[in-house]
Amino acid sequence: MTTKLTRSRDDRWVAGVCGGIAARLGISSFWVRLVFLFGSPGFFWIYIILAFLLPDAPANEDF
């Protein structure tokens, strides 16, 4: 079963984008946050765009 990419409700610091990506990939959100913090400056804009475009995860879905 393929899950959709959503913003995390539980694992969030700002908007839940990194937590949602980590849950989708099955890795720790620490690594995703590390990429967004120390990666290319373009990752900042990708984060902002995803924060507006991705829906929140359903309330009853556990990651």
* Confidence band of 52 (pLDDT split at 50, 70, 90): very high
Question: Which residues neighbour 47 within 8 Å (Cβ) at sequence distance 6 or greater?
Answer: 15, 17, 18, 36
pLDDT in tens, 17-39: 898 899 889 999 999 999 988 88
The reported pTM is 0.78
Alpha helical stretches, state H, 1-63:
17-25, 29-38, 42-53
* Confidence band of 2 (pLDDT split at 50, 70, 90): very low
